[in-house]
Structure 1
Amino acid sequence: MDREPGLSVRLKLTLSYAAVIMLAGGALLAVVWVFLLRYVPTNFGPTHMSGPDRFDLLSAFAPKAALMIAFLLVFGLIGGWILAGSMLAPLTRITNAARLAATGSLSHRIQLEGREDEFRELADAFDTMLAQLEAHDAEQQRFAANASHELRTPLAITQTLLEVARNDRNRDSGELVDRLLYVNNRAIDLTEALLMLSRANQRTFSREPVDLSLIAEEAAETLLPLAEKRGLTIETSGEITPTTGSHTLLLQLTTNLVNNAIVHNLQADGTVWVTTSLRSRTVVLTVENTGEKLTPQLVSTLTEPFQRGTQRTRTDHAGVGLGLAIVKSITQAHEGTLTLTPRAAGGLRVKVQLPR
């Protein structure tokens, strides 16, 4: 935004310091002058001498007072300029860091020394913001690279299938169509997942009162045929859990968790537990499943986009690698927290806490 040039803050502070010193010095000299007049006699003898006596006093006092005022002015300007520069030095470092950040350099930190005060608090907050921006920028770069790779894969497969079909005219077209349909569906699923993730990150959705327990029941009922096909059991329980948010996004969150718990489970006779609970300030959705034992290191990477975890990937339903990433984004968009914990007996426990 264009602004007209003005006085610097340092010059304004300098003039303010000098003005305060001048006013204080002038007030002090005025008090001294009034104090001296009280003790000056009106005459020194039979002749009325009050006028000349005070005139002589003024003649002696005025030059010294003017000299003192001039000294205070010079002292106020010089001292105020030095003091203002010292006080504004931290602000200069913060400004330089902001300019570096504007050019794309997010690795710079102010790291302002000294005890806690307003400038140090501002510098620390700015350093925290830079660290978060740097981490977010790195995450976005990884996401863009992974998304490009994931989107390129079905296109490359499609191109290969078409080239094979062109070179082999006698090949069964039905098999080719089926494989192309499968690859195309995978690309559509990935695109829809990316759109869902983008929508959750932008937080551009309307909010309404919802019951998380009803959403959990709806997701479990929808995915019950998939669980029965795999020989799994879904157990739902809990209490009414009122919260505020997008019904569509929260249903997507719950569906992703239940689907993830079904797909990454035992080969047979596995169980998925879906429970909701009410606390003083939050509502909690917990989804647990049986399965292979997971390490904390692996679990800590599962919410990253396209980080499926090779130990948990099933060949019959690998997914697009965005299920838990979408869950994380939707949770954050609803001011909630997401916690993933490996179960001691095997499997995963996922807990979503949202404001009540």
Structure 2
Amino acid sequence: MDRQPGLSVRLKLTLSYTGFLMVAGTLLLAVVWVFILRHLPAYTSVPGGVLVRSFLLRDFASAAGAVLAFLLVFGLLGGWILAGRMLAPLTRITNATRMAANGSLSHRIRLTGHKDEFRELADAFDMMLAQLEAHVAEQQRFAANASHELRTPLSVSKSLLDVARADPNRATDPLIDRLHAVNTRAIDLTEALLLLSRADRRSFTREHVDLSLMAEEATETLLPLAEKRGVILETDGDIAPTIGSPALLLQLTTNLVQNAIVHNLPEHGNVWVHTSVRPKTVVLTVENTGEQLTPQLVSTLTEPFQRGTERIHTDHAGVGLGLAIVKTITQAHDGTLTLAPRSAGGIRITVELPAMSPYADR
């Protein structure tokens, strides 16, 4: 939800503290002023008493102004410091919430000290994160175990189908070819689920990776597919060093380029792969031509088994996990994934990853 910018809670508390202090100081000075006006006339009978009273009232007024000025500065400074100390736990809770929103469920707030409202909120949030992490881990283990269990029978059936297809004495049977295609698709789905589970668990070794080299390797591998479909594939950009898994980042790039080739115009399509460097991040951008896409459809394309049926080709439907894997790999590398429809048709997909520190080798 987009909101208009407003005053921070810390500033509001500071102004509240200062306002309360100024009101209290003003009331106190007003009481002293009334006391002086009530009792000072009793001394006017003394020679020079009227002059003494005038001096006292003038001195009191200047002193009251100085006291109010001091209270204003003291209230602003003290209120700012006190509000910051009181809101420090809220800042930690907010940071933990943002990390959880980005997919990091292992982080905990763990506020110390005696029990109060902030600590109750932090403890409840930590408990929620622990339950979510356990639930997600259970799902990942199930997907990984199921995929492992499916590997063996699928491999055996594939071998049997390969033997049947290669038998020169067999009669032409389209059923065997269809079974072989279904079996191959099931194996691809199993491998995709294993890759998705591996990236979700972040169980990989981080190394120095150049995204521009990943883009070149992916485009070289998929160039025959692009030529077969009549798609012009262009790659350019800067050296883009980052830290991560070379295998996973290559898979990410390959998935993006393959999707861009497959989901394109029926003929004379284009795919552009570009890498760039920003102050703190490196960027991989993959664009393609194609049909006009709505923002609502684009926002769902990273969901598992979402294929975008409006632009599917029957000869290469995929398993519906390509962009879901891209999203998971991006999150596992602390990056961001952005999908946006192009005004001329097609889609622009941007992956932004943390740039490798220039002092990483020092």
> TM-score surpassing 0.5?
yes
Distance 1:265 1:233 in 2: 11
After the TM superposition, which residues 104-143 of structure 1 pair with which residues of structure 2 at under 5 Å, given as runs? 118-119=118-119, 122=122, 125-126=125-126, 129=129
1:316 to partner: Cα distance: 1.2
1:207 to partner: Cα distance: 1.1
Aligned to 2:212: 213
Aligned to 1:192: 191
Distance 1:247 1:138 in 2: 27
Aligned to 1:36: none
Compared CA separation, residues 209 and 319, structure 1 to 2 (3 A): same
Distance 1:134 1:299 in 2: 30
Aligned to 1:47: none
Per-residue CA deviation, residues 181-203 of structure 1 (Å, 9 max, x unaligned), is 11111111111111111111111
Distance 1:291 1:266 in 2: 5
Per-residue CA deviation, residues 218-275 of structure 1 (Å, 9 max, x unaligned), is 1011101111111110111100000111111100000000000000000011100100
1:119 to partner: Cα distance: 2.0
Aligned to 2:243: 244
Distance 1:185 1:280 in 2: 44
Amino acid paired to 2:223:
L
After the TM superposition, which residues 271-290 of structure 1 pair with which residues of structure 2 at under 5 Å, given as runs? 271-290=270-289
Distance 2:224 2:178 in 1: 25
Aligned to 1:234: 233
Distance 2:130 2:241 in 1: 36
The normalised TM-score by structure 1 is: 0.56
1:325 to partner: Cα distance: 0.5
CA RMSD of aligned residues (A): 3.5
Aligned to 1:269: 268
Amino acid paired to 1:305:
P
Aligned to 1:342: 341
Aligned to 2:203: 204
Residue 182 in structure 1 maps to residue 178 in structure 2: no
Compared CA separation, residues 340 and 135, structure 1 to 2 (3 A): farther
SS in 1 for 2:173: helix
Aligned to 1:353: 352
Gaps of 5+ in 2: 1-115, 162-169, 356-362
SS in 2 for 1:303: coil
Aligned to 1:253: 252
Higher Cα Rg, which structure: 1
Compared CA separation, residues 347 and 139, structure 1 to 2 (3 A): farther
Amino acid paired to 1:190:
L
Distance 1:253 1:271 in 2: 19
Aligned to 1:4: none
Compared CA separation, residues 132 and 295, structure 1 to 2 (3 A): farther
Distance 1:130 1:299 in 2: 31
Compared CA separation, residues 289 and 138, structure 1 to 2 (3 A): farther
1:347 to partner: Cα distance: 0.5
Gaps of 5+ in 1: 1-115, 162-170
1:310 to partner: Cα distance: 1.2
Per-residue CA deviation, residues 285-338 of structure 1 (Å, 9 max, x unaligned), is 000000001111111111111011211211111100000011011111111111
After the TM superposition, which residues 74-113 of structure 1 pair with which residues of structure 2 at under 5 Å, given as runs? none
Per-residue CA deviation, residues 107-139 of structure 1 (Å, 9 max, x unaligned), is xxxxxxxxx964255157448738966996999
SS in 1 for 2:293: coil
Amino acid paired to 2:228:
K
After the TM superposition, which residues 29-48 of structure 1 pair with which residues of structure 2 at under 5 Å, given as runs? none
Compared CA separation, residues 284 and 128, structure 1 to 2 (3 A): farther
Compared CA separation, residues 127 and 204, structure 1 to 2 (3 A): closer
Distance 1:198 1:336 in 2: 18
Compared CA separation, residues 352 and 131, structure 1 to 2 (3 A): farther
Distance 1:135 1:235 in 2: 42
1:174 to partner: Cα distance: 3.0
Amino acid paired to 1:223:
L
* Alignment coverage as a number of residue pairs: 227
Distance 2:139 2:324 in 1: 12
Distance 2:352 2:322 in 1: 18
The normalised TM-score by structure 2 is: 0.55
Amino acid paired to 2:202:
R
Amino acid paired to 2:337:
L
Comparing 171-180 with 279-288, greater Cα deviation is found at: 171-180
Aligned to 1:12: none
